[in-house]
Structure 1
Amino acid sequence: MADILSQTIPYTDITVASIVFALVVLVAGIVIAGVLSGTFRKGLKKTKLPELIIEFLVRFLRALLYVGVLLAVVSALGVNISSVVVGLSAVIGLVLGFGMQDSLNNLAAGIWIASLRPLDKGEYVTVNGMSGTVHAVGIMATELLTPDNQFITLPNKLVWGSPIVNATRMPTRRVAVDVGVGYSTDVPKAVAIAMDVIKRDSRVLADPAPAVITTELADSSVNLQLRAWVNTSDFWGVKNDLTIAIHAEFGAQDIEIPFPQLDVHMYKN
């Protein structure tokens, strides 16, 4: 057994014992990095820091720990770390000159996002044409989870450099339901019926007051819009229920909801 451990890898001075020791260091390092990251996370959760910043700091620390583990493994193999660091520095300098700008931009953007928090964990946002619930902001990318459970990874520089529409940051939102009525309809009556439909929903807030307005005299209909302010958590439920309720109520009250139509007039010469 001792003879096997003392054997060297062909064309190198690395012994089998060094490789075994390096593997032990690697496994132990990964375990220790995980424990330290978990401890760091628990400590940060006792503070008042937002979850988004906590996740960013934990991921940043984990990356640094993994770099330390890598250097420890290289040292266990008997390689001079100083020469490795010098070599890595040269490689990093070369890579920076040819394309690491994007990585540095992503890192800087991640720091700005975590610090200024235009979006936060658990919020529903639209960024760069992508919509989803914020899962995390990492060192290089922001992670979104769509309602149908698709996982989206966006480079941080695209997030920071794009308009961010945050649908859940504010405590209240305005629901808007559009509906058209026929030109022969008594519009004031239709408005009164629509207003009654809104007021029957207990989730609709009294302040700001709900309203029904005429938005357009369209080709085939007079278009109305039901506007109701609700708590953000009730937004989609109220929008769905108001849409169903106004359709049912207009049908019960013989209020026509027309479909697009075209009148063709034919004249005989």
Structure 2
Amino acid sequence: MNDGISNGIIEKVIPYTDITVSRLIFAIIVLIAGFISVKFLVYIFRKGIQKTKLPGLTTQFLAHFLSILLYMIVILIFLKSLNFDVDSFVIGISAVIGLVLGLGMQDTLTNITAGVWVAAIRPIDTGEMVVVNGQTGKVRAVGIMSTELLTPDNQLITIPNKLVWGSSIVNMTRMPTRRASVDVGISYSSDIEKAIVTALDIMKGHPLILKEPEPAVVTTELANSSVNLQLRAWTKTGDFAAVKNTLTSGIFEAYRREGIEIPFPQMEIHVKEVKREIKETQVKGIGIITLD
């Protein structure tokens, strides 16, 4: 009799649903077993993928992605065991996932296409010093999705390929020669011809400066405090930094030796004194001071 009562309870339909108690118990068991299985499978997957020596961030991402996927499958099996129609739900989820992947893959495909163009046309190459999207550094790698630059102070910059291909690129080491320019200002009281000759002598005697094109000195500006000159010298690209540094220090020492003044920024202020007489007048018994 007790077995009959138990069977009756188990087969009893839950109010407002067509789900029996036995089916609900079975679904809960499936859900619990599924969650335990997911944790076990993700653990095994994480241990296995760690042996591949992939970066920790990649391992974590793949493990999270797998766990979410497995949990969704377990929940769908749970709903299916309760006689829910999950087919339409799966179709809807698939459509949403397809849309999300399509939107996400749009940038991915753009980066891949841009990477192909960069690799094919080669506006930049490994080891070259470039300015890309406002970032300056030596090209470390051009990958499928992004380009890596290494700055002079050893910072790694990763730029998506679509930004590399879609922006202006300044390649500072592609050409065999470059012009080094050094700006210097002399005072208005200095001899400008002497300053130009002194600068030319420094550049013509420099061993790393090319004879052709000839070095030159030009007047660039009549500024507030100085007459600004620019030293222009051509050199091999590999010697550019050394030439610019030695010219900067060399012109300073030469002008100081020759008595050519390099002025500090200055401003003249003329103060005009105005004499004022103070007169006191009386208006209705109140003293008022006026200024003339």
| TM-score of Structure 1 vs Structure 2, range by shorter chain | 0.5 to 0.7
What is residue 204 of structure 1 aligned with on the other side?
Answer: 209
Unaligned residue ranges in structure 1 (runs of 5+): 1-9, 32-88
Larger RCO, structures 1/2 (Cα 8 Å, 6+ apart): 1
Kindly report which structure 2 residues correspond to 1:45-194, keeping only aligned pairs within 5 A, or say none.
93-194=98-199
TM-score by length of 2: 0.63
C-alpha distance in structure 1 between counterparts of 2:154 and 2:96, whole Å: 39
Can you list the C-alpha shifts for 1:21-80, whole angstroms capped at 9, x where unaligned?
98999799x59xxxxxxxxxxxxxxxxxxxxxxxxxxxxxxxxxxxxxxxxxxxxxxxxx
Kindly report which structure 2 residues correspond to 1:241-260, keeping only aligned pairs within 5 A, or say none.
241-260=246-265
Q: Choose which of 215, 221, 224 in structure 2 pairs with 1:216.
A: 221
C-alpha distance in structure 1 between counterparts of 2:181 and 2:151, whole Å: 23
C-alpha distance in structure 2 between counterparts of 1:211 and 1:142, whole Å: 38
C-alpha distance in structure 1 between counterparts of 2:105 and 2:118, whole Å: 20
Runs of 4+ in 1 over 4 A off after TM superposition: 21-28, 89-92
Larger Rg: 2
C-alpha distance in structure 2 between counterparts of 1:214 and 1:263, whole Å: 23
C-alpha distance in structure 2 between counterparts of 1:125 and 1:95, whole Å: 35
Can you list the C-alpha shifts for 1:125-149, whole angstroms capped at 9, x where unaligned?
1111111000001111100000100
Instruction: Report the alpha carbon displacement of residue 240 of structure 1 after superposing the two structures with TM.
Output: 0.5
C-alpha distance in structure 2 between counterparts of 1:191 and 1:22, whole Å: 73
C-alpha distance in structure 2 between counterparts of 1:156 and 1:196, whole Å: 47
The change in CA–CA distance for 1:23 and 1:221 in structure 2 (over 3 A counts) is: closer
Amino acid corresponding to residue 198 of structure 1 in structure 2: M
Instruction: Report the alpha carbon displacement of residue 268 of structure 1 after superposing the two structures with TM.
Output: 4.0
C-alpha distance in structure 2 between counterparts of 1:247 and 1:143, whole Å: 38
Instruction: Report the alpha carbon displacement of residue 95 of structure 1 after superposing the two structures with TM.
Output: 3.2
Amino acid corresponding to residue 161 of structure 2 in structure 1: N
* Paired residue secondary structure (1:110): helix
C-alpha distance in structure 2 between counterparts of 1:167 and 1:258, whole Å: 32
The change in CA–CA distance for 1:185 and 1:207 in structure 2 (over 3 A counts) is: same
The change in CA–CA distance for 1:191 and 1:24 in structure 2 (over 3 A counts) is: closer
Q: Percent same amino acid among aligned pairs? A: 57
TM-score by length of 1: 0.68
Instruction: Report the alpha carbon displacement of residue 90 of structure 1 after superposing the two structures with TM.
Output: 7.5
Aligned residues: 211
* Paired residue secondary structure (1:119): coil
C-alpha distance in structure 2 between counterparts of 1:95 and 1:109, whole Å: 22
The change in CA–CA distance for 1:90 and 1:138 in structure 2 (over 3 A counts) is: farther
